[in-house]
Amino acid sequence: MGKIAVIMAITDKTKGKKGISAFILEKGMEGFTAGKKENKLGMRASDTSQLIFENCKIPFNKLIGNEGEGFIQALKILEGGRISIAALSVGLAQGCLDAALKYSKERKQFNKTLSEFQITQFKLSEMQTNIEAARLLTLRAAYMKDHNIPDIKEAAMAKLFASEIAEKAAGEAVQIYGGYGFIKDYPVEKFYRDVKLCTIGEGTSEIQRIVISRDVLKD
């Protein structure tokens, strides 16, 4: 666990979501400890662990913003986080394409490189097209965020599309590698494990579709 953590707590049960507040907790505070590090499928370089609270008392000066603003603060963080996940997805997808492209030019079957087969060419062309589309969606959402333009729908669209095409790109990269794609000596095996989190983190793909549909149907 890092030196600090941001947590949410209900400070007024009568106010519903307006009764949620955000606090900063520091490592070593009485009653606040970290549990075991989770043994994850992918993204293993990023540690994930439980937070344990046992009679933890938080001083008022650890409050972030004003009391009752925690829910709104969380939504704002989610919005930016979705753009970050979209950018991560684009990077992972690009890594998959780069690895698959390099391998397809080196690996030979039936006296031809894999890149000379039309089925491989189609896979690579679809990966490239999807990555470029995802990159543009992500850049648009990031631009809107930087310029304080409401971007709830755009962030959700970027995250949804980029994460799902990244997952598909990882699958296609493993397919191009064949049996070697299932071996840890090759990069696409790790891409395949890591990319799944992108369709889950900062709201699942199903949640993104709900966010987008609300905007589409609001009129």
State yes or no: is 202 an active-site residue.
Answer: yes
The strand pair at 112-113 and 108-109 is best described as antiparallel
Q: Are 88 and 198 in contact (CB under 8 A)?
A: yes
Q: Which of 67, 106, 202, 206 is catalytic?
A: 202
Q: Are 99 and 187 in contact (CB under 8 A)?
A: yes
Beta-carbon count within 10 A of 127 CB: 24
What single-letter DSSP state applies at residue 79?
H
Lookup result for tokens 């009485």? 30
Coil vs helix vs strand at 4: strand
Known catalytic residues are 202
